[in-house]
């Protein structure tokens, strides 16, 4: 019988997108074994849109720092998923996921992590079924490798089209609007997750970016200019893993669905008082990951929102600020991973929310 | 004994800042007697900063509409307080406050409204004690006129300095930074309310915009380019008024103080489920009014926020989106009056939140 | 023989979008006979995009002011064309066009003005050939009414799609992206001008917003949320008109085509020194009208521009600032009417520039 | 007699702030000897304000690339000066300055480059005369080392105050606002250049950041957190250097002073046609360096600009777009180094403009 694995998670702040000092401090003080790092998610303070270079800057900084401690080759195997945009009160931070040798498997299930990668895409594949299908394959590979049967969150980092890339395309691209390409790429990625998990049967060209009834309840995709393939991180619980962390999720039906956040907290064993995570349980909250997007209808519960009509602030920036506020109210902290652009990730205007927490000690 | 008055409140959407059709529809269908209108608060979709002309546009549109139904002179007596900025999910809307003849006074206390105005200020008075003292006088006049002893919310609309106005000043102005002038004007106004209510003993020049320990727990000030005086609306409960509306308030200690919102809801008789206003009580919620601002420390509960360092989106826009999200999560709707720039309005980074609700029928 | 008409033009500043005082001052001091006003163009300081309410606010303010001096009905016949966006150094201003009785016709040709209007469009017509065809008809009507045979500038103000309007459409709309709708509406309008002037033979659905080789060399269209029809103002020279004003134009081949601006100046009789309008001739410059847009290639003379990839500032805002700089350098003043969104108005990345000047006195 | 030196300059595009491939291509194809690189100026596409991380990202990327070709120590000696902001049509690019062995000195004078450094400053010296005086000394040292007698451009990279540095100060600091310290440090640096060149007699504490009549006609300063001293790059002509490059400058009196740009071009031997650099001479233009800032008066030649009152776009962004347009019109290209923040660098609202060109071959 193989040694069970144990997943751990460090949440640390960054002072700017190139600041990896908090992670390095964990390494140099012996609290984080760099060889166990499988993925780092980062919430960086750019605009989260086309010209957000904070993601690439953070990736370059992390790669340099990891290479110093792990060597260049090992560092290159760590999945780095930067999501730009800390609007409202969101606080820039890194989530460092590690896998190490555990002791006894947790029969109640423990947090398990699997990762996968697609090939590089041609510009003309982005935002189309070919991308979704490659993502589905990568999700399956990640699940198998990690023996996950109960999936609660799938993070996909995907490419986008820039004016430069469009010019090199071998065939017509899904859109020539670089900003729109981010949505199509996220949407195709999410439908790839849905395909992998049986939430949809197939991904048709006309679904992507149009048919919002088709979505995954656990997908979270973010697009960045710094990569040409998709990177997949699957989070779930597994009885083959050890440790006291567990993950749960719920689906926000709209951007102000605070009860869904409460449901996810409750499923993760976290109690609330006066609407907010009870102070006594606050230290057991390890991470919150959620998606945000403006409803395509221009309304939230019947009231008009102005996200689509605001030509000064991108709609995704409004949405992250809003959902960040709803969730920060629920959990009482702002270093939560809310990423924008939730096309096919939860229902129109809503999105998945996942909570990772330490199980309460039996009294 | 004089006839008791009754305050009523209509909350209606606007499709754009010049759209007063929803109010006019109430008038023409007989549900709103224009002669009773004392104040209209509007949440318009501009940037809420120096070049936000949606406020002036809404004021001009309201004035024209009211003049058609009330005559020019009566229309000019209605206090019009437009607050720009519907970031995140906030929905542009008007709150129309009316006072009409009531029946028996409500011994439990009923919503009461008083209004007051200062003189026009010289540019060099803005953001200085002279402004605060004039506001305090106006608050006292409004309270006396309405027999309010329990004050829960004081809205002050105040002027700002523009490059043009600075050029006409007769003496040195408090600041030559037009954007900064909005904060000083709001701050002086709020300290004026605090002075009126005994929350501070005096307003010193060095307090304004600096000493954040001095604040009012019920003030809400917003600055606009369209006026040169301060307009004051005092909301409270009075046993001399009739009706089933009541107002309550709490103070958010920081931007994510969801428990304070719950407290205000509870004091107004509104129950919550899973963190959100219970659906069965939803129709009894009449209005929510709150202030939002970025903490001056750059942190929320120890975590860094980026509001002050973002040179693309003004800090107040981030703050409104955030607090709008926290409150919308609590009340389950987005047409809430969250205004930015909470200098001396509640503690640093926090602010007052007031809830107006219909009392539950006794079972 | 009918009395010849004479066109005149007043250029006045505005302190904010609701400030019509400079025009009113001309009226009350007898320098402007309101009954002669046929059109007012305004460059207002909004973002020039979807949520630019400075245009509607200016229109409302102008309408009120004109009604005071002309009566409501006459005021309603004045064409009001507000173009939002004074990025870079552009200065907010109004151009007031008047037509009055002249003396002898100018055999060299004098500035002549014609106006026309289309019907209101259904949402599904916007950005489609039906819009172009209606514009062409309106251009012909305006030319005939003003006896213009030499057309130098055609201003079209056209509607856009908002989330609200899309919801009321009776059929599928050209785009559901409100911002994109502005470009399609401007493009359809410009192709309508091209159709009227024989610059194209027909307007096909696939041309609009795609085939940038088809354009008008004299069209200038701007879209605004405040109207549902197109308003057309044709400027040209006519030997049937009197006066010493004349108009000339050139086509900027790209955004930095300063030589084209010089060509237009020269054709209008204005000399330059060291690249800029000669001081001695400066007072003869009456107005400059131009279009600006980012090249669709992402490049200007081979060098990359970042207008399309900047998610913080809209591409049209960059373009207006840039072209405003080029032209302000040429003419030595900043109250020039540079409007954004030059789809099918001049070649890709370029646009028409028209100069109105007083003819030099013979020496 | 020592071997004369020759200065050379490569201007290359960047596709994003981390893209140093064009420089690397010059190195690997043998056209650029990395050992000769003394300085790299970069115009990156961030917002040029507080949260512009494109500068640090470009510096990190350049440092990595240079270290690969020169070794870490030599790379550290290259002065890297990144200026954020490519608004309007400005094109992101690098200017790579090299010094190598030349042949015969050019008796007409050739471009010469000198560098100098001050000591580290105490926090209380920053933004004060002590800083200016040290900069003046460094300018003199750089001039002597490079035998420059005719100075046309002085780039100063200067420190700023951080919260940490303020805490270690031995006396009160010039400002406790860290952002304001950037402007004071730039201003003190520019006045230091003015002092070195005899443009001012002395630098008084009350001049810095206040008395805009005192300025240098050739200074360009930028502040960065990564250094505690000032680094100075002096560009001028010297008869001791060889090569056919020469530099000239003029001072724009305001943002639309196109004649000043023409003057600088003419002094650098570049002819114009129709206001723009003549196509036949275009290849001789090597670089343009200029400063841009909004006039503090809110006006340009009497007309209002909206730069200070626009709360959506920072004033420096407007100014760069505007001045970029004026200069691009003059030189017919957009990869020009226009940087913002021109305190005491040219007159209020204006700034220096320097042109580097290859001398025309004698016919």
* Percent of chain B's residues with pLDDT above 70: 99
Q: What are D311-347's pLDDT values in tens digits?
A: 999 999 999 999 999 999 999 999 999 999 899 999 9
Is C342 annotated among the ligand-binding residues? yes
Query: At C293, is the pLDDT very low, low, confident or very high (cuts 50, 70, 90)?
Result: very high
User: Considering A220, A222, A238, A242, which one is annotated as catalytic?
Assistant: A222
When mean pLDDT is compared across A243-247, B238-242, D133-137, D162-166, the lowest value belongs to D162-166
Q: Given a cut of 90, is residue A203 above it in pLDDT?
A: yes
pLDDT for the residue B111: 98
Residue C46 with chain B: CB contacts under 8 Å: 53
Question: Does any CB of chain D come closer than 8 Å to the CB of residue C301?
Answer: yes
CB contact under 8 A, A18 and D61: no
Task: Quick: pLDDT tens for D59-70.
Answer: 999 999 999 999
CA distance B275 to A257: 10
A84 Cβ under 8 Å from any chain B Cβ: no
Predicted pLDDT of residue C343? 94
Average pLDDT over residues B277-301: 96
Give the mutation candidate from B47, B253, B258 for the A interface (greatest A CB count, under 10 A). Answer: B258
Q: Which residues of C touch B64 (CB under 8 A)?
A: 60, 64
Does residue A157 have an active-site annotation?
A: yes
Confidence of residue B251 (pLDDT cuts 50, 70, 90): very high
Distance from CA of C57 to the nearest CA of B (A): 5
Q: Which chains touch A (3 or more CB pairs under 8 A)?
A: B, C, D
User: What pLDDT score does B97 carry?
Assistant: 97
Distance from CA of C317 to the nearest CA of B (A): 14
Asked whether residue C309 carries a pLDDT value surpassing 60, the answer given is yes
% chain A with pLDDT above 90: 89
- What does the pLDDT average to over D162-169? 87
For residue A115, the 8-state DSSP code is E
Query: What single string gives the DSSP state of each residue in B258-305?
Result: HHHHHHHHHHTT--EETTEE-GGGGGGEEEEEEEE---TTSEETTEE-
pLDDT over threshold 70, residue A362: no
B112 is in an annotated binding site: no
Average pLDDT over residues C322-339: 98
Pairing of strands C351-358, C245-252: antiparallel
Query: What pLDDT is attached to residue A215?
Result: 97
pLDDT attached to residue A187: 97
* Chain B residues 269-288 with CB within 8 Å of chain A: 272-276
Q: What is the model's pLDDT at position C172?
A: 93
Does the pLDDT of residue D263 top 80, yes or no? yes
A139-163 average pLDDT score? 94
Report CB contact under 8 Å: C163, A310.
Answer: no
Report pLDDT for C58.
97
What is this structure's pTM? Answer: 0.95
How far A261 CA sits from the closest chain B CA (Å)?
9
H or E element at residue B146:
helix B129-146
Cα separation of D131 and D120, whole Å? 10
Predicted pLDDT of residue D162: 86
Name residues whose C-beta falls within 8 Å of residue B157's C-beta, 6 or more positions apart in sequence.
B79, B80, B81, B82, B221, B222, B223, B224, B227, B230, B231
Q: Can you give the residue ranges of every domain in chain B?
A: 1-103, 107-243, 248-358
Tell me the average pLDDT of chain C: 95
| C164: chain B residues, CB-CB within 8 Å | 15
Q: Is D264 helix (H, G, I), strand (E, B) or coil?
A: helix
Mean pLDDT of chain B: 95
Q: Which CATH number, 3.40.50.2300, 3.50.50.60, 1.10.10.10, 3.30.1330.160, labels domain A248-358?
A: 3.30.1330.160
Whether the pLDDT of residue D1 is over 60: the answer is: no
Looking at residue C363, its pLDDT comes to 58
Assigned token pair, A235: 């989070």
CB atoms within 10 A of CB D202: 11
Q: Pick B272's closest partner by Cβ from A256, A275, A305.
A: A275
**Is residue C168 less than 8 Å (CB to CB) from chain A?**
no
Q: For B313, name the nearest residue in chain A, comparing CA atoms only.
A: A313
Q: Catalytic amino acids of D? A: 157, 222
In this complex, do C45 and D306 lie within 8 Å of one another by their Cβ atoms? yes
Structure tokens of B87?
């970031």
User: Cβ of C323 under 8 Å from any chain D Cβ?
Assistant: yes
What pLDDT digit, counting tens, does each position of D345-356 carry?
Answer: 999 999 999 999
The arrangement of strands across the sheet holding D110-117 comes to D110-117, D231-238, D150-158, D219-223
From residue B273, alpha-carbon distances to B17, B171, B330 in Å are 34, 56, 9
Q: Hunting for tokens 């074994």 — which residue is that?
A: A33
Handedness of CA B68, B69, B73, B79 (dihedral sign): negative
- Distance from D53 to chain A by nearest Cα, in Å? 7
- Across C241-255, C269-283, D109-123, D220-234, least confident range: D220-234
Distance from CA of B325 to the nearest CA of D (A): 22
Are the beta carbons of C273 and C330 closer than 8 angstroms?
A: no
Average pLDDT over residues D10-39: 97
Closest among D185, D236, D188, D182 to D216, alpha carbons compared? D188
pLDDT in tens, C11-28: 999 999 999 999 999 999
Which residue in the set A255, A276, A321 is minimally distant from B318, CB to CB? A321
Q: Do D275 and C259 touch (CB under 8 A)?
A: yes
- Given the cut 0.90, state whether the ipTM is greater than it: yes
Architecture of domain D1-103: 2-Layer Sandwich (3.30)
Residue to test with chain B: of A259, A278, A297, A304, most B Cβ within 10 A: A304
pLDDT in tens, B315-325: 999 999 999 99
Q: How many residues does chain B have?
A: 363
Residue D305 above 60 pLDDT? yes
- pLDDT given at position A332: 98
- Set A61, A157, A181, A291: catalytic member: A157
- Is some CB atom of chain D closer than 8 A to the CB atom of C255? yes
* Separation between Cα atoms, residue A198 and residue A143, nearest integer Å: 14
Per CATH, domain A107-243 is 3.30.1330.180: yes
pLDDT score recorded for residue D163: 82
Extended beta strands in A37-194, E state: 37-44, 79-84, 93-101, 110-117, 150-158
> Is the fold of A107-243 the same as that of A248-358?
yes
What pLDDT sits at residue D111? Answer: 98
Q: Which residues of B touch D52 (CB under 8 A)?
A: 311
Assess contact for A293 and A349: CB atoms under 8 A: yes
A294-303, B55-64, C159-168, D141-150: range with lowest mean pLDDT: C159-168
Q: Is A222 considered catalytic here?
A: yes
pLDDT band per the 50, 70, 90 thresholds, residue B1: low
Residue C134 is encoded by which pair of tokens? 């209606």
Q: How confident is the model at residue B227 (pLDDT cuts 50, 70, 90)?
A: confident
Shortest Cα distance, chain D CAs vs residue C303, angstroms: 6
Tell whether D54 lies on the interface with B, counting CB pairs under 8 A. no
D231-259 confidence digits (pLDDT tens) = 999 999 999 999 999 999 999 999 999 99
pLDDT-derived band of residue B190, with 50, 70 and 90 as boundaries?
very high
For residue A45, the chain D residue with the least C-alpha distance is D51
Average pLDDT, chain A: 95
B51 pLDDT tier (thresholds 50, 70, 90): very high
B296 is in an annotated binding site: no
Closest to A78 in 3D by CA, of A121, A32, A48, A117: A117
User: Per-residue pLDDT tens for B122-162?
Assistant: 999 999 999 999 999 999 999 999 999 999 999 999 999 98
Q: Are strands B285-292 and B337-340 parallel, antiparallel or unpaired?
A: parallel
Give yes or no for residue B226 having a pLDDT over 80. no
Q: Using only C-alpha atoms, what is the Rg of chain B? A: 19
Region A91-110: mean pLDDT is 96
């Amino acid at each position: 019988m193989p040694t069970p694995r144990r997943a751990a998670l460090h949440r640390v702040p960054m002072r700017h997108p190139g600041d990896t000092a908090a992670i390095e401090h964990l390494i140099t003080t012996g609290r984080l074994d760099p060889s166990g790092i499988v993925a780092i998610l980062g919430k960086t303070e750019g605009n989260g849109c086309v010209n957000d270079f904070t993601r690439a800057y953070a990736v370059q900084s992390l790669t340099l720092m990891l290479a110093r401690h792990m060597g260049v080759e090992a560092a290159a195997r760590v999945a780095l998923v930067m999501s730009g945009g800390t609007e409202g009160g969101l606080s820039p931070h890194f989530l460092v996921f590690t896998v190490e040798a555990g002791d006894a498997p947790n029969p109640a299930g423990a947090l398990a992590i699997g990762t996968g990668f697609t090939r590089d895409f041609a510009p003309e594949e982005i935002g189309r079924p070919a991308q979704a299908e490659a993502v589905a394959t990568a999700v399956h590979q990640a699940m198998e490798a990690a023996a996950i049967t109960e999936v609660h969150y799938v993070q996909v980092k995907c490419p986008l089209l820039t004016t430069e890339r469009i010019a090199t395309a071998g065939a017509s691209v899904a859109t020539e609007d670089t900003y729109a390409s981010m949505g199509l790429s996220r949407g195709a990625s999410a439908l790839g997750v849905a395909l992998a998990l049986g939430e949809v049967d197939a991904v048709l060209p006309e679904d992507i970016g149009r048919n919002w009834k088709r979505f995954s309840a656990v997908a979270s995709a973010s697009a960045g200019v710094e990569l040409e393939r998709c990177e997949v991180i699957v989070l779930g619980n597994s009885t083959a893993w050890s440790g006291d962390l567990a993950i749960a999720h719920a689906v926000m039906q709209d951007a102000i669905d605070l009860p869904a956040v409460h449901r996810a907290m409750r499923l993760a064993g976290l109690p609330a008082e006066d609407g907010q995570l009870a102070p006594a349980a606050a230290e057991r909250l390890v991470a919150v990951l959620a998606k945000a997007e403006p409803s395509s209808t221009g309304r939230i519960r019947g009231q008009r929102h102005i996200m689509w009509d605001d030509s000064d602030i991108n709609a995704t920036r409004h949405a992250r600020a809003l959902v960040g506020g709803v969730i920060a109210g629920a959990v009482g902290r702002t270093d939560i991973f809310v990423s924008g652009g939730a096309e096919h990730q939860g229902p129109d205007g809503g999105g998945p929310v996942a909570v990772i927490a330490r199980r309460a000690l039996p009294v």
